[in-house]
Amino acid sequence: MKKIIALLTTIFISIYAIAQEAICPEPQQKPEMADLMRSNGKIYVVVTCLLIVFTCVVVYLISLDKRLSKLERNE
């Protein structure tokens, strides 16, 4: 089962990389939105929001794991 999942993941990643190359063939072309947000200073707001969301998800998963472990020990 692990081999199948690893194979599918590898295939998916390679297809994704090929699709990205077909859409944006020039690798030196820079995204305009990132430059605009960086010049306005809003990129830091986006990064901060992403870090907050990621931290909340990690904290929630850790607390959920602790609760499940406690329930497993009690039974």
pLDDT tens column, 33-69 = 667 777 777 778 888 999 999 999 999 999 999 999 9
- Residues shown for the chain: 75
CA-based torsion, 10, 12, 50, 61: positive or negative: negative
**pLDDT for 17-26, tens place per residue?**
776 555 555 5
Tokens 């859409």 locate to 23
Distance CA 43, CA 69 (A): 39
